[in-house]
Amino acid sequence: MTRPGPALRVGLLGVTVTLVGYALFAAWLGVHARLYSDARDRATATATSVVVEDGIGDDEDVRVRWKDDEGRTHVQRFGVYDTGRYTRGERFRVAYAPGDSRGFPADPDETAAEDDLTVPVFLGAAVALPLSCVWIRRGLRFRLTARRPGRPMTARVRFGSRRATIWRGSTTTWLELTAPDGTVHWQRVMWHPAAAAIQAGSPALAHQVTVHGTGRRPAVVALPDGVRLVPLGRLRDHRPPFVVFDREATRADLRDAFILPATTAVPDAPPWWRGASAAFAGTTVGAASGLSLTDGSPTGTVALALCGATLLTSVWALSSPQP
């Protein structure tokens, strides 16, 4: 069985992270939404309470004081939609289950708490689906473009440096393509060891390649050994801005400060470390946002942590990581 190429492996990783992350996110909120719905169905008793504070937080929640059938006093915060109706000193009907200290808005139209658990599931789907479709579109475009008639060109593999972020590396792979009439084009591609070997062995030499595709659409370039590179973005007529070529000329590394024996092999950083960093950063930012936006609610904090980790890791995979 042929081992999948690096582009396919990254694509499978990106789709898997997106789908699994969304599944965990949806399951977490779905379970809590079900528990909330069941608890509200059991709340058959009602009590009249008084709003003791209004306009709490960005959502303008209210805090009410109510008594159950056993005479116990409870103070509880509720999310409401009709914020102008429930002001300080106004009456607020609370539904509760006898013997339970948890209350719910008796007004069936006040479903803010339940909506906070169900609406994000649909919003998450609206994000996860396009992220997955990007990979599907990229794969279909590659297959269809590779079937188009090819034209001979000469190509140089160029490594460009750009500003790195937490979800993408600083190095990108480009092909400088020269047509027989001397016209020069630039095509960004996903990293492949065959392209890296060509650049490492003869960075200044051009190689005969076959370019599939027409116009300014993404072009699939077939290397001399038959390897086809997955394009990223359109075929450019000009040198890409804000990218410095080549990696060998721009590398600023601590290893350059030492003289090593010629036979010493210094490995690059493993390609997955930035993905792990993106997942960790997404989890941290998501958890911090959850603590801030949900007043420390464990349900919201875990949900936003899952959302952040999934989103940043998926974006990292889409950025075409490379060693």
Q: What is the pLDDT of residue 2?
A: 41
Q: Residue 65 corresponds to which tokens in the numbers above?
A: 């004081």
Per the CB < 8 A criterion, the answer to whether 256 and 262 are in contact is no
Per residue in 74-88, pLDDT (tens digit) is 999 999 999 889 999
Q: What is the pLDDT of residue 296?
A: 79
59 pLDDT band, cuts 50/70/90, is confident
Measured between alpha carbons, how far is 17 from 287 in angstroms, rounded to an integer?
18
Q: What is the pLDDT of residue 266?
A: 40
How would you classify the pairing of strands 228-229 and 220-222?
A: antiparallel
More confident residue, 221 or 245: 221
Q: What is the pLDDT of residue 126?
A: 96
Q: Is 8 left (phi over 0), alpha (psi -120 to 50) or beta?
A: alpha
102 pLDDT band, cuts 50/70/90, is very high
Per residue in 257-292, pLDDT (tens digit) is 344 454 444 444 455 677 788 899 999 999 999 888
In 10 A of CB 255, how many CB atoms?
10
Q: What Rg value do the Cα atoms of the chain yield, rounded?
A: 28
Mean pLDDT of 122-145: 94
DSSP 169: -
Per residue in 6-54, pLDDT (tens digit) is 888 899 999 999 999 999 999 999 999 999 999 999 999 999 899 999 9
* Token pair 């008639």 in the structure block, residue: 149
Per residue in 203-219, pLDDT (tens digit) is 667 789 999 988 889 99
Measured between alpha carbons, how far is 75 from 28 in angstroms, rounded to an integer?
27
User: Which residues are registered as beta bridge partners of 61?
Assistant: 56
Measured between alpha carbons, how far is 64 from 54 in angstroms, rounded to an integer?
9
Helix 273-293 crosses helix 298-318 at what angle (to 10 degrees)?
Answer: 150
Q: Spell out the long-range contacts of 179-185 with Cβ–Cβ below 8 A and sequence spacing 24 or more.
A: 179/151, 179/153, 180/152, 180/153, 184/237, 185/153, 185/219, 185/235, 185/236, 185/237
Per residue in 145-174, pLDDT (tens digit) is 999 999 999 999 998 887 777 667 778 899
Q: What is the pLDDT of residue 122?
A: 96
Asked whether residue 314 carries a pLDDT value surpassing 60, the answer given is yes
Measured between alpha carbons, how far is 286 from 304 in angstroms, rounded to an integer?
5
Work out the mean pLDDT of the chain and round it to a whole number: 86
